[in-house]
Amino acid sequence: MKLKINLMLVVLLSTILNAGFFDKDVEFLTNENQLERKFPTNKEVVLSYNNVLKNLKTSVVNISTKKRVKLGSYANPFFGDPFFDNFFRGFDGPNLFFPKERVQSSLGSGVIVTKDGYIITNHHVIDGADEIKVSIQESKKEYDAKVIGSDPKSDLAVIKIDAKNLNAIKFYDSDKVKIGDIVFALGNPFGVGQTITQGMVSATGRSSVGIVEYEDFIQTDAPINPGNSGGALVNSAGYLIGINSAIVSKNGGNVGIGFAIPSNMVKNITKAIINDGEFTRAYLGVRISDISEDLISFYGRKNGAIVTSVESGTAADKLGLKRGDLIVSVNDKEVKSSSSLRNIIGTMTPKTQVTIKYIRDKKLKEGTVRLKSIKDRTFNSTGYGYEYKGMKIETLTSQLKRQLGISQNIKGVYVNKVEDKSNSYEAGILAGDIIIQVENKEVKDIESFKEMALKGFGKKRFYIYRRGGIIVTVL
């Protein structure tokens, strides 16, 4: 009986083998009772971008920073106690075990843009750093870096290391980036070392995200994690299309929504910082709003930026723009919305000549003019402006909220300008901040701001909305 069963199993196994249930192109060999799979040659095609990406490894750097953070004043439970004051005599008192500052470390990424050591990164990566170190893949050397310049409004910064013959990355025209393009994110996530992740372009021209003041992001689902900030987003040809800047996440991890600053914006700002040590924005001189559904019939277009006012003496005034004009393009680049126009002009430098197309009375008109510097902007004080301790504020209108890309629910006053070395400057207040509360009273308009700011004497707490978060400072 057992013999019959064994014979049946042998026949069944033979039938299975002959029937091709196993891969005929795979040969199984025994070697000391171990099975090894011998893969066929010239029968499989391995898809890889290694030939494109291998040269980029030395174009993207790791950045580590150290920042000394003052802890400020606090209530020491032992301070003033005679016993402890006497016990710690000669040892800096009871504050011996309560340090006045601590060292804060962080990690990020950067991209080499010149052979002699200029590197792009995010402003928030190096902001306030006392020490910046740069390391390059495949090199054991660590470089000291210095800050050349920074632009907080776009979250870009340029640093430099003392090195030669570096592998500078090549730029791509980000205006040609399309949804569905295959992309790769390079950086140093979580400090584990350089990593490359793959995805595609999910959207272009993303604004009103609330991360920085000037937003024209490329959105991607390529995994971007903490530490990737300042790293490169490249296309399938290996060219830079953006600098990784931020992610949308509830827990700090990647959920497939990442944002990169487009390469054209990066190039313009970086060039100015390298040449001048700072980036000064151009200024057109108009207040603008989006075109609503009700207004489409008046202009015959769905996209553009409606001029709501023109400041005298500006480029817009010289061009002859008037309230009600619909700006549709700048240098043949389409203006899709008010934020789109703001970003286009905001990435240009003063004295740039621009050709602006606009619609007036349903007719397309065109004019050419040279832009002026935003530093030359005169503050409008006709009823809604106010100056306080070196900062100039204005009413936070619904129109301004749309331009800034923030929620209509936010209330406060908008900081238009902050004078260098003023009290407001020393307190860390920046142009673009929104003051939402002074002491225990919320700020709804300029009158409520003045009421609290001028009430009594001494320092006051100012609560500020900045880049999607709330900070507090004393002024």
pLDDT tens-digit series, residues 112-131: 999 999 999 999 899 888 89
Domain ranges of the chain: 56-279, 282-376, 385-474
Domains 282-376 and 385-474 share a fold: yes
Residue 368's pLDDT band (boundaries 50, 70, 90)?
very high
Active-site choice (229, 263, 337, 424) = 229
pLDDT at 84 over 60: no
Residue 69's pLDDT band (boundaries 50, 70, 90)?
low
Which residues, at least 6 apart from 460, have a Cβ–Cβ distance to it below 8 Å? 438, 439, 452, 453, 474, 475
User: Which range, of 70-84, 208-222, 399-413, averages the lowest pLDDT?
Assistant: 70-84
What pLDDT does residue 177 have? 95
Q: What is the mean pLDDT of the chain?
A: 81
Of 35 and 435, the structure prediction assigns the larger pLDDT to 435
For the chain, give the percent of residues with pLDDT over 90. 40
Burial class (CB in 10 A: 0-12, 13-18, 19+), 187: buried
- The DSSP secondary structure of 349-396, one letter per residue, reads PTT-EEEEEEEETTEEEEEEEE-EEGGGPPP--SSSEEEETTEEEEE-
Architecture in CATH for domain 282-376: Roll (2.30)
Tell me the per-residue pLDDT of 307-326, one tens digit each, with 9 for 90 and over.
988 888 899 999 999 999 99
Rounded to 5 degrees, φ, ψ at 451 are -60, -45
Active-site choice (155, 181, 221, 433) = 155
Tell me the per-residue pLDDT of 275-285, one tens digit each, with 9 for 90 and over.
999 999 998 98
Amino acid found at 468: G
Active-site choice (106, 124, 154, 338) = 124
* Measured distance CA(56)–CA(169) in Å, rounded: 7
Tell me the per-residue pLDDT of 209-259, one tens digit each, with 9 for 90 and over.
777 778 889 999 988 877 788 999 999 999 999 999 887 766 666 677 889
Tokens standing for 399?
Answer: 């129109």
Spatial CA neighbour of 125 closest among 145, 113, 110, 144 = 110
pLDDT at 97 over 60: no
Average pLDDT, integer, range 454-459: 74
Q: How far is CA 370 from CA 45, 163, 187, 285, 329, in A?
A: 55, 38, 39, 12, 15
Q: Which helix (H) or strand (E) element contains residue 261?
A: strand 258-262
Which residues, at least 6 apart from 290, have a Cβ–Cβ distance to it below 8 Å? 305, 306, 337, 338, 402
Q: How far is CA 438 from CA 411, 426, 427, 473, in A?
A: 12, 17, 14, 10
Average pLDDT, integer, range 17-30: 43
The answer to whether the Cα torsion of 437, 440, 445, 451 is positive or negative is negative
Residue with tokens 């040809």: 237
First to last CA, the chain: 99
What pLDDT does residue 30 have? 45
Is 124 labeled as catalytic in the residue annotation?
A: yes
Rounded to 5 degrees, φ, ψ at 28 are -95, 125
Which residues, at least 6 apart from 437, have a Cβ–Cβ distance to it below 8 Å? 412, 443, 462, 463
Q: What does CATH list as the number for 385-474?
A: 2.30.42.10
What pLDDT does residue 325 have? 93
What pLDDT does residue 457 have? 65
Tokens standing for 200?
Answer: 């595609």
What pLDDT does residue 309 have? 84
What pLDDT does residue 406 have? 86
Opening angle at CA 39, ends 33 and 43, nearest 5: 165
Of 184 and 27, the structure prediction assigns the larger pLDDT to 184
* Measured distance CA(187)–CA(56) in Å, rounded: 11
What pLDDT does residue 73 have? 43
Q: What does CATH list as the number for 56-279?
A: 2.40.10.120
Q: How far is CA 185 from CA 53, 199, 230, 314, in A?
A: 11, 8, 10, 41
Q: Are 92 and 158 in contact (CB under 8 A)?
A: no
The answer to whether the Cα torsion of 322, 324, 326, 327 is positive or negative is positive
pTM of the model: 0.67
Tell how strand 217-220 and strand 232-235 pair up: unpaired
Q: Which helix (H) or strand (E) element contains residue 403?
A: helix 398-404
